[in-house]
Amino acid sequence: MLPLPKLSLYGFQHILAFYAGAVIVPILLGNALGLSHDELVYLINADLLTCGIASIIQALGIWRIGARLPLVQGVTFTAVSPMIAIGIGAGGGTAGLLVVYGAVITAGIATFLFAPFFSKLVKFFPPVVIGTILTIIGLTLIPVGLQDAAGGADLMGEAAYGSPKNLAYALGTLLFILLVVRIGKPFLSSVAVLIGLVFGTAVAWLLGDADFGAVGRADWFGVSTPFHYGMPKFELFPILAMTIVMLITMVETTGDVYAIGEITGKKVDGETVASALRADGIATVLGGVFNSFPYVAFAENIGLVRMTRVMSRFVVVAAGVFMIILGLLPKAGSLVAAIPHPVLGGAAVAMFGMVATVGIQILGKVDLREERNALILAVSLGVALLPTTVAPFFDRMSDDLQAVLDSGITLGGLTAILLNLFFNVFTRRTAMEIDWDEIERDGPADSQLGTAER
407-424: pLDDT as tens digits: 777 788 888 888 988 888
Q: What is the pLDDT of residue 403?
A: 64
- Look at residue 297 and tell me whether its pLDDT is greater than 90: no
Cβ atoms 345, 193 nearer than 8 A = no
Angle between helices 236-264 and 299-308 (to 10 degrees): 10
91-124: pLDDT as tens digits: 888 888 999 999 999 999 999 998 888 867 777 7
> Measured on CA atoms in the order 359, 364, 365, 366, is the torsion positive or negative?
positive
Q: What is the pLDDT of residue 214?
A: 67
pTM of the model: 0.73
Place 56 in a pLDDT band, splitting at 50, 70 and 90: very high
Q: What is the pLDDT of residue 434?
A: 54
Output helix, strand, coil percentages for the chain, rounded to the nearest 5.
Answer: 75, 0, 25
Mean pLDDT of 226-231: 88
| Residue of 209, 230, 6, 191 whose CA lies nearest to 96 | 230
Count, in order, helices (H) and strands (E) of the chain.
20, 2
A 10 A CB-CB count for 178 gives: 14
In total, the chain counts a number of residues equal to 454
134-157: pLDDT as tens digits: 788 778 878 878 888 888 766 777
Within 13 Å, how many C-alpha atoms sit on residue 47's CB side?
Answer: 30
